[in-house]
Amino acid sequence: QVQLVESGGGLVQAGGSLRLSCLASARAFGRYAMGWFRQPPGKEREFVATISWSGGTITDYADSVKGRFTISRDNARNTVFLQMVSLKSEDTAVYYCAATENTWASKRDEDYDYWGQGTQVTVSS
């Protein structure tokens, strides 16, 4: 069983930055591919970013965040990060961290076995 705890959310003005963190309880954290998803108010959950297991050499992003968000991982600290810059009002959402050891990385939420409780990000315009 893997527990994930997100932190770093908050209220920020448009154009600002935030860094989200997700701490995993997993042993052998490097075996897990990690993803960030978000759920805007009144909408379905959507993919944001993913990073491959082990060294995290492969990353992928939703088109809406490419060039603004960066996913990274620190296996020694069992943590995955999401650096967000140039935030827009449409980035307002609850952000979720997810983990899977079933695939090297994925954009599909059904591929992930473990989810955090989420952290709220609110971008004011």
pLDDT at residue 86 in the model:
98
pLDDT in tens, 48-106: 999 999 887 899 999 999 999 999 999 999 999 999 999 999 999 999 999 999 888 99
Q: Which residue has the higher pLDDT, 52 or 26?
A: 52
Report in angstroms the alpha-carbon separations of 98 from 88, 105, 116.
23, 11, 6
Query: What does pLDDT average to over the chain?
Result: 96
Average pLDDT over residues 31-52: 97
33 close to 99: Cβ distance less than 8 angstroms: yes
